[in-house]
Chain A
């Protein structure tokens, strides 16, 4: 390593990349949601499918089984078969419409759950062909574009409407993903965990806005990675909600409750999910909205196209 190892890497955005500008919270104008709401909540219910055998040479996350992965394949399939319906049973009575990052294969393999969710007014979001096929720098640009476009086209074919949102499988991206997602036609992303308010991204074609989707409010991070029990998950999410709700007295905020249908849809966890959303729904000024609704309202509040 030579002396350039200590050099700074400061772009015009004031970050070390060009995807969006540095925006210190303390310098922002007041953020207003429609109808006097103070806290927007997106309930994201991922409905996924994964490969039984990962193709040779394809990148896989550390710790993945090398050969036939029946146990994780089956576990994941609980989502479209059972978990999604259990979560629907909790959300529907409260009038909450979920946003659904959906693996392409689920659209083809399980149209029944797709039609059911659409019937509830839930919004589908692009999420890649399979949950194990991450978007990474190892993909060629054309392959990445094909991958994002395939999800876009699959949702459009299955539902008649093109998706607006993208959430990478495993929250994965390459450094090209914001640009490619906007080119393909997506206009909001749930991949960024760095803010409690939406912010626009810089893309040369189309448009892209990042909606708050913290790892701190996702069951993948809190349960899978931090090994919290369901009651601890309820405590953490309730604390996050209450903390953000208190801050929202002075300006609008948003959060995404990130649920995997095969994890949070399990019976023993679902009762805590029910307690959580019922508690949130009981508070004045909480606006349960889909990703598109939040994206549209955020653009209006920020005065951007």
Chain B
């Protein structure tokens, strides 16, 4: 029975020295669209039924998500280009194998790639070490093949991880991990070998949660993004913060919702002292300027 994964010591935000960001930025904003592939008839997993509401296929839920790769991603590219935002794609790498033109569009824009596993209907729950290593190696190799780049960060497929995940990520040279949602600043993660940090991703400023799960309107979601920004920007005058905007093209890049995101992006871009950047750049900056210098020392992995 594990009640605490013991991956970082407790740290009260008020006890920490200010986070350093480049050019006196008050907030580092990174935007992570989740570009996903949900399967029509996925393999069953003993820990989670990918479509629990009816015998497979679940047509409303499957086809709703399929909109993302047919229609939504193309509107996503237009919107990000309009606001000069480089996305950090939370990518199910199978998307690129199915639809290489989506990889091409991302490479043309020099986006950052954060793994979201292979398919969003295949989970890491109860993967043994060999299978989890095979998944990580596959993701690295697939990313290299389609983009020429190393994946920089990791978010579990459908948010699924194992207790050994951070050790493996550090071993394979992945820079940052985002499955904790536990802070507004990067955290140093205890791993067996190498280094790993978490950077703030969000289970709140996230359209799948806000619009999909808790059923807020898109207008409310747009306001949430701006309100989040306002508070972190105010705090950031003395204590800079990191803000993630977590999106899904099949949700936010639909005709009824996209204008609220457009408005929120314009609002953020209208402020000075904002570093609109990628997950990798945030991680690199933290490793160079903050790692080992501002938080309690991390212990050895249990």
Residues of A near any B CB (own CB < 8 A) = 1-3, 5-6, 8-10, 14-17, 22-27, 59, 61-62, 134, 136-138, 168, 170-175, 191-196, 214-216, 221, 225-228, 232, 235-237, 239-244, 247
Contact = CB atoms under 8 A, between A and B. Distances in A.
B255 A239 contact: yes
B116 interface: no
25 contacts: A1-B127, A6-B118, A6-B134, A6-B138, A8-B94, A8-B118, A9-B39, A22-B69, A26-B101, A27-B101, A61-B53, A137-B56, A174-B57, A175-B56, A191-B63, A195-B70, A214-B64, A214-B67, A225-B215, A236-B256, A239-B218, A240-B254, A240-B256, A243-B256, A243-B259
The 9 closest A-B pairs by CB, nearest first: A243-B255, A240-B256, A194-B66, A239-B256, A137-B55, A193-B63, A194-B63, A244-B255, A136-B55
A239 to B, nearest CB: 4
B41 interface: yes
Given A6-B135, A171-B59, A243-B256, A228 B217 contact: yes
A24 B70 contact: yes
Contact of B255 (A9, A136, A240): A240
Interface in B30-52: 39-41, 43, 45-46, 52
B207 interface: no
Contact of A227 (B55, B73, B215, B254): B215
A193 B256 contact: no
A295 B135 CA distance: 43
A173 B57 contact: yes
B5 interface: no
A193 B64 contact: yes
Contacts of B73: 24
Contacts of A243: 254-256, 258-259
> Most B CB atoms within 10 A — which of A2, A26, A59, A136?
A26
B253 to A, nearest CB: 10
Contacts of A9: 39
Nearest to B37: A16
A191 B118 contact: no
Given A24-B102, A137-B55, A173-B57, 17 more contacts: A1-B45, A6-B134, A15-B66, A26-B105, A61-B54, A62-B52, A137-B56, A138-B55, A171-B60, A172-B59, A174-B57, A191-B63, A241-B255, A242-B255, A243-B254, A243-B255, A243-B259
Contacts, number: 145
A260 B59 CA distance: 18
A242 B218 CA distance: 14
Contacts of A191: 59, 63
B140 to A, nearest CB: 13
A174 B1 CA distance: 41
Nearest to A26: B74
Q: Is chain B's interface secondary structure helix, strand, loop, or mixed overall?
A: helix
Contacts of A247: 255
B255 A235 contact: no
Contacts of A228: 215, 217
A175 B215 contact: no
A2 B122 CA distance: 12
B99 A236 contact: no
A23 B64 contact: no
B219 interface: yes
B237 interface: no
B40 A172 contact: no
- The residue among A6, A17, A62, A192 with the most chain B CB atoms within 10 A of its own CB is A6
A15 B62 CA distance: 12
A178 to B, nearest CB: 10
Given A3-B131, A6-B134, A24-B99, A175 B40 contact: yes
A200 B124 CA distance: 36
B163 to A, nearest CB: 17
B98 interface: yes
B179 interface: no
B277 to A, nearest CB: 26
Contacts of B259: 239, 243
A47 to B, nearest CB: 20
B118 A23 contact: no
A228 B56 CA distance: 28
Contact of B74 (A25, A61, A237): A25
Interface string B99-117: 1011001000000000000
Contacts of B71: 25, 194-196
B257 interface: yes
B218 A236 contact: yes
B97 interface: yes
Contact of A17 (B40, B67, B118): B40
Nearest to A241: B255
B177 to A, nearest CB: 20
A16 B206 CA distance: 27
Interface in B81-107: 94, 97-99, 101-102, 105
A2 B43 CA distance: 12
A191 B101 CA distance: 27
A232 B217 contact: yes
B55 A168 contact: no
Given A3-B130, A215-B60, A227-B215, A22 B99 contact: yes
A25 B68 CA distance: 10
Contacts of B46: 1
Nearest to A226: B215
